[in-house]
Amino acid sequence: MKKYIYPILLLIIFAACGSSSVKNLQKGNYDKAIDKSVKELLKDRSKDDEIQVLSQAYKLANQNDNEKIEQLKLSGQPDIWEKIYLSYDALQKRQEKVARLAQVINLNYIGYQYVNYSNEISNAKNKAAEYYYVHAKTLLDKGDKYSARTAYDELQKVKTYFPNYKDADDLIKIAYNKGNTYVLFKIENNSQSILPLAFEEELTRSSLADLNQKWTVYDAKPLENFFYDYFITVNIKLIDISPESLNQNHYKESKQIADGWKYKLDKNGNVMKDSLGNDIKIPKFKTISCNINEVQQSKAIIIAGTLDFINNTTRQIIKTDPVRAEWFFKNNFATSNGDLSALTPQTAAKLQSSQMPFPSNADMILQAGNVLKTMCKDIIRRNNSLLK
């Protein structure tokens, strides 16, 4: 019967205690329970309930890791060593965490026994690195992108164990180059209009590096003797530039202003008097006016076409999106003839602007090209998943 007393007492203690360490123990979160108990005991060594929780959680957590290690070793699989390493590492860190309590409690109370895991950790670490290294080289020999990407990830794992492991750095570069999808951004002018020499340079001037993702690299200028997996082509089919336009609006603004005074006369032509006997005076007004010629300058451009995603291996268009970029030149100014005092403040403000030279057709195309560039980048971002 005695062997049942301890667990029964422990259950009673757990049921009576509502601490977070107990709750984690009950849920099987043993390491969280250990963290909570260690923290509480470092603050107050007299908490017997926390010692009981710590003892049970420490025992069960270690038991789980040791059983996992044994099962992995019995499996005989070559890819087990990272998991074995992580389990030994957990045992070591858990042991170090509990050892901090030696200054406040007798560790025998929780069944603590120091174990030197150094050899096991080192052995598992070496075998895990060796497995990933050898497997990565096997994957690279396959020659396809997806194998190269897996090889890249596995070589990165090797470096987490040993930063300078053999020729892992060189193999990572090879895996990166083999695993990338390379995309060339191009422009084709099928609009029957002549593009300025600076148009293509301006459209691709800003780097496309902000479009790059893991395993997808964009170029705007082709590398010599280099195979690109995909082309993204701006196929310009229309360039429509409106004529220079001057729309004029003529109007007049008038208002009355005071212009002295005169005597008020009766029907006989005599000056009239007020109740005090003073001559009655009445104000005189005159009308002033100003003629306005308001002019609106305008010129517009439309560049339209498609953005085509092309598989360079099959030469097939895998997606096409319409693109349409517009840009407008507008300028309003006004001239006057007459008395400026007759103008409203709003109309007077229009006189502060002056006529501007119309932009050339080449300038209009370059301005619309900036709009087109932003539009194309947005479309590419939305369709990046197509380019694998």
The CA distance from 159 to 154, in Å, is 9
Burial of 310 (0-12, 13-18, 19+ CB in 10 A): buried
pLDDT at position 265 is: 84
pLDDT at position 259 is: 84
> pLDDT 10s per residue in the chain (388 long)?
344 334 444 544 444 455 689 999 999 999 999 999 999 999 888 888 899 999 999 999 999 999 999 999 999 899 999 999 999 999 999 999 999 999 888 898 888 899 999 999 999 999 999 999 999 999 999 999 999 999 999 999 999 999 999 999 999 999 999 999 999 999 999 998 888 888 887 777 666 778 888 999 999 888 899 999 999 999 999 999 999 999 999 999 999 988 888 888 888 888 888 888 888 888 888 999 999 999 999 999 999 999 999 999 999 999 999 999 999 999 999 999 999 999 999 999 999 999 999 999 999 999 999 999 999 999 999 998 899 8
Structure tokens at 136: 């990565």
Residue spans of the domains in the chain: they are 2-115, 124-179, 182-255+288-388
Q: How far is CA 385 from CA 7, 254, 311, in A?
A: 57, 66, 13
Place of tokens 């997806």: 146
Cβ(295)–Cβ(247) below 8 Å: yes
Cβ(361)–Cβ(299) below 8 Å: no
- Per residue in 173-190, is it b (16+ CB within 10 Å) or e — as a string? ebbbebbbbbbbbbbebe
Long-range contacts of the stretch 160-164 (C-beta < 8 A, 24+): 161/125, 161/126, 161/128, 161/129, 162/129
Is the Cα torsion angle 308, 309, 312, 317 positive or negative in sign?
A: negative
Place of tokens 């006004």: 334
Cβ(88)–Cβ(24) below 8 Å: no
pLDDT at position 12 is: 45
Cα dihedral 252, 257, 259, 262, rounded to 10, equals: 120
Looking only at the bridges linking them, the beta strands covering 281-311 and 316-338 are: antiparallel
The CA distance from 291 to 341, in Å, is 12
CATH 3.40.50 assigned to 182-255+288-388? yes
- CA neighbor of 335 nearest in space, from 269, 301, 291, 368: 291
Place of tokens 């300028």: 331
